[in-house]
Chain A
Amino acid sequence: MNEEIKRKRILVVDDESDLTLFYRMSLEYHGFEVETFNDPRKALSNFKTDYYNLIILDIKMPNMDGFELYTEIRKRDKKANVCFLTASELYYKEFRMKEYSALDKSLFIRKPIGNEDMLKEIYRLIKA
């Protein structure tokens, strides 16, 4: 395992507790420091600026969707490296059409994704 990557910090927000459990188990096994939240509002109130190497957001969530959360995070951390791991096809298209059209397509990871593939994406995003 690369020492540098081992110390990387990842924040994951997904309303499905089974999925956050999976992300945590998978990423911790590969040496990442992982914080997970099921409630986006809690993720925001615990947010630490200039702290995470990568932030992974689900899109369809109660109380606050991934885009709203993204906007709030951007306000707090202009440089934050944010990507989306989502199962919502339409939301994705709508989102890209509207105000966030500048966001690169490569920032969207589609569920379902296997363990190895997900890690590849995460390494790619952290290096970028």
Chain B
Amino acid sequence: MIKESTEIFYGIDTVMNTVLQFLYHTKGKIDACVDYTRPSLAIDIIILKRAFLDARKRGVRLRYVTEINKDNISYCKQLMSMVDELRHLEGIKGNFYISETGYLAPATFHEAGEPAAQIIYSNVKELIGHQKYVFETLWSKTIPAEQRIREIEEGVEHHETVIIDNSDEIIREIYSLTATSNQLDTCLTSGGMQYSHKYFFDIKKKLLDKQMRGEHKGLRYITSIDNDNLDLIKLYLKKGIKIRHVGNLPPMSFGVSDKKIAVTIEKMENGKVVQSLLLSNESQYLKHFSSVFQRLWENGVEATERIHEIEEGVEAEFYNVITDNEKASQILIDMTKSVRKKALIFLPNDKALVRIDRLGIIDSLLRASRNGAEVKIISPLSEENSEIQRKILENAPDIRMLDGNISPYGMYIIDHEKFLRAELKKPKADKFSDAIGLVVYSNRRTTVDSFESVFELLWNERILVEELRKADTMQKEFISIAAHELKTPIQAILGMSGLLKYYPEKTDQVIEVISRNAIRLQRLSAHILDATRIESQTLKLEKERFDIRDLISTIIEDYKERIKDTTNDRVELIYNDNFNISHAIIVEADKERINQVISNLLSNSIQFTNDGHISLEMASSDQNNEVIVTVRDTGKGINPEIMPRLFSKFVTRSQQGTGLGLFISKNIIESHGGKIWAENNVLEGRGTIFSFTLPLASKNRVKEGRR
């Protein structure tokens, strides 16, 4: 039994001797795997060549694998007659020889074309077994020397990367790539899929036949499966092609075989011919694209599963980064066309509104709003987009729109389902597709939800800003009106009191003016004080139980006098109620405040009525447990424009008013649990009707009150 050992021999001569010994003493077979520099040594070093020839003569079966290239092609041709089988493998770096009994390998790196200075020899069975396995693995990846030599001699460029533009040539190259493949992985857009089907389906069928015979490792496809290509995908599946769905495809299509890659440099869209094709057989490219494909494949969804989803109407979750701006425009158009419940639009600048209007998106939103969908838009508002603002306001008043700040992106959230976010790259561009940069499009629940809440936050912030702005305007208006109102009587008092000394004979007249303006000042300051109390919610009611008929009678008497003074009998004041004289209408209220309200209504009527009549009516409804007081006049009526804001602060029909009277009245009535409203007197063709209600005091208490 030979002792098993592994040894290292040093020195060029020793190494050479070891190799020669190995060749001369081996029986059975020798497998050699060597780099591209070795064939020249086997031919040029005579003793080595003799040893090879001797082994062959002894009937040793020689298998030899190396990298055959332009430089060693002539040696390889000679070598072909010296060994049983010579095959080619790209990029071999190490050298080793293996027989049934021994393993031989140079132990150091060596200069090209020089024999090694150290060599390992081993007869350890396990090591030999292992190395045999390594050899077989490599062997399986080789191609015959004849084929490789032919390729080189026929000028088939290897290790080359080219770009071709000619569409016929592109078809030829893809065909050749497909035809020569032992394995083919392809990643295509939906359009690319159709192109591929059109030109290469026949050759694929042949490959599938080869696969059936075990001569091809199969075809794999990655694409985005949607309704448009469903039938094609089904056909391919039926033919035995493996397909997976990836929603977010890389921007280019590519095919990678065991030999070559082809990458589209421009798009394959709608079955149109690609613009140019990058072809390469560089191993780095092959490796890269194989690994890209593999990664996509692992993340892909089985086509059958995806088809099921589409057919069941379940849309798979996607989060797509879209670099094709035209495609992004189309997605946005489709998204907004499909709005059913809710559309939240956040625009980056004033021009964005104009851009999306050009895409028909505003029209889609108008339609959606009219069909009951909730539409909210935050957009910087300016002259630039004023026409579109008007269009929205006129055609879909339910669309809510708030002024926003300039932002680096726009956001579109539709029906809690879809979300699109587009970077703004060129703020001034006219076209949407020119303006945008990177676009993210997703239906992922978490994404949509979180951006919806971002939108709502922005919305609330905008509302707050708007309210502050409004409050600011109101405050300015208040100051302006209050200033004017205060200054006018002050001017009269100040001026007139200065005149007293000039006009001693007219003192009474001057003092009357001063007194009138002092009263006006007093009334005004009371109004301002009341309004301030209402605003700060500190208006206090001193409630008591009283008969409102008594109060009204008193007021009527008072006003009959006043009306004589101001209108010279051209206006008649009428009081009407249908109650028995003894019937008491008991309310629990602040008597002074109710007096204030009725007086305010009557004063207004007197101010705006030049002739005719002012009537005060009262009715009680036990059913509603309330009393209704109505003041009717034949005055100039209320401009319909200010009608909806009549009870707001600072809304006034006259130059004299503070715009606070009705605001205060409304708050007084409402804090008593009543209502107040106004209408123009349509029946009589002129004048206004003001009405308010007050709850009646509870019956039990009434009895108690009477006792």
Contacts and interface: CB of A to CB of B under 8 A. Distances in A.
A25 interface: yes
Contact of A22 (B484, B499, B655): B499
Contacts of A114: 494-495, 498
A52 to B, nearest CB: 21
Interface in B458-509: 476-477, 479-480, 483-484, 486-492, 494-496, 498-499, 502-503, 506
Interface in B516-549: 516-517
Nearest to B489: A18
Contacts, number: 77
Contact of B490 (A60, A112, A115): A112
A44 interface: no
B492 A18 contact: yes
Task: Please classify the interface of chain B as helix (H, G, I), strand (E, B), loop, or mixed, using the class held by over half of its residues.
Answer: helix
A88 B484 contact: yes
A112 to B, nearest CB: 4
A16 to B, nearest CB: 6
Interface in A7-43: 15-16, 18-19, 21-23, 25-26, 29
Contact of A60 (B491, B495, B506, B655): B655
A19 B503 contact: no
Interface in B625-681: 654-655
Interface residues of B, number: 27
Contacts of B484: 60, 87-88
A118 B628 CA distance: 52
A112 B502 CA distance: 20
Interface residues of A, number: 25
A115 B398 CA distance: 56
A104 interface: no
B525 to A, nearest CB: 15
A24 to B, nearest CB: 10
A111 B499 contact: no
B138 interface: no
A90 interface: yes
Contact of B517 (A18, A88, A90, A115): A18
A25 B492 CA distance: 12
B655 A19 contact: no
Nearest to A26: B499
B513 interface: yes
Contacts of B483: 87-89
Given A19-B495, A25-B502, A87-B491, 6 more contacts: A22-B492, A25-B503, A26-B498, A87-B488, A111-B490, A115-B498
22 contacts: A16-B488, A18-B496, A19-B488, A19-B495, A22-B496, A25-B499, A26-B502, A29-B499, A29-B502, A60-B484, A61-B655, A62-B654, A90-B479, A91-B480, A112-B487, A112-B491, A112-B495, A113-B494, A114-B495, A115-B498, A115-B499, A116-B498
Interface of B: 476-477, 479-480, 483-484, 486-492, 494-496, 498-499, 502-503, 506, 510, 513, 516-517, 654-655
